[in-house]
Structure 1
């Protein structure tokens, strides 16, 4: 065996000291139980977040495109039904060479009508812009003014309606007081509002809507009472005569009343004019002064209308 020289020893040492790079991918660190729990919580929180409107639209669009791009195969329920009925593929129909694929859809994303091309829409839009270039601001001002006038008219209409109902109550009170003073033959049993239990057709047409409205409320109240209370708990001392009178008046609500329909067709201003005129001529009462004068001249009353009373 040959003796080793100093140079050979160095080369041998260099050879023994050589290292080779590790080309294998290091294994990822093992996930601890705490890390796994935190990861699962984070994923669950991300899934629970609601999608935004843009994300939902993008998802729906992607699903639509996927569905349109997917061809019908043997897993399709419709194809399976056709196969059970003997269909072996090819075009449907008597003639050969018929369509073998479903009609492809063309999604329309705008609000224009079907068949209206973009050129027509552009021309219409340009014409509208040219026509409205000069008078747009004026039309906007007119629109605001019309809105204010309409709102003012609605407020005046509601106020006139309230005045009509108030005048009806005044006329009813004066009329009932006069009948009680005259001692007429109408039964004197009252409904709790001062109005006698006589037939609805016999009520003055000028405040008949008020009596009818009150009767409808009494009917609804009685129906609720009968539903909430058993007939077995009814008091035997109830006034059967009053009950029969009430039932007859309720039946009148279902009958046609042409005179009332004609009166209801009038405007609130016309109704108010007729009622105030009746108050002045028959009872010497001024609805605007809130005073009943001792004589027919009604000295001291400014006039017939609200404007004359300031």
Structure 2
């Protein structure tokens, strides 16, 4: 009979004796019950600590054997020694081979051979996919931010051009009236005519000629009107002055666009 079997029988006997200590027919006191349960749990814990599976024992033996080097009693090692091998030196005639044995890889799972490599490859592919998706998301965010900045810049430039156009129209109207010109060369050269108190327009659009406003964008209007002012009146809307002549305009005005005056 093994020690393990004897230990089980001893625990069972102690359990039975502890229960028989209480007289039949009497109500068990709570402290007696707790003491019995405590002893039973202690015995079960002892049994659990004593019970070692075969796998654990095999693992311990394997680790013990792997930590110890081979001796001359090993047939393979004795054959190597007969062929001239010396312990601690590399294999081969010149001694350039491996010194330590090839490490032992223990397969503990029930999966087939190559399963771990496949799982590792899947994990690497998943990580790479996440990395690529992160880069795509980052590029999309950068593109959206650049588009937003571009739209804000366009809107700002548009507002600036509209403001410069209004300034040019006011200046053109004032300079034309000073020269005795009552009708603008083009309808949009002056600010749009306002509505008087009677509900009618101060000037009849049909009498002022064809309205070409629909054919020009804001930047085209600004370019045409500023050229008109520079050639006819030597006036720069960004300098806000009229120069004496074309030479004075060319020498002292920074340029014919808003960017030259920044």
TM-score, normalised via structure 1 length = 0.36
TM superposition score normalised by structure 2: 0.43
Structure having the higher Rg: 2
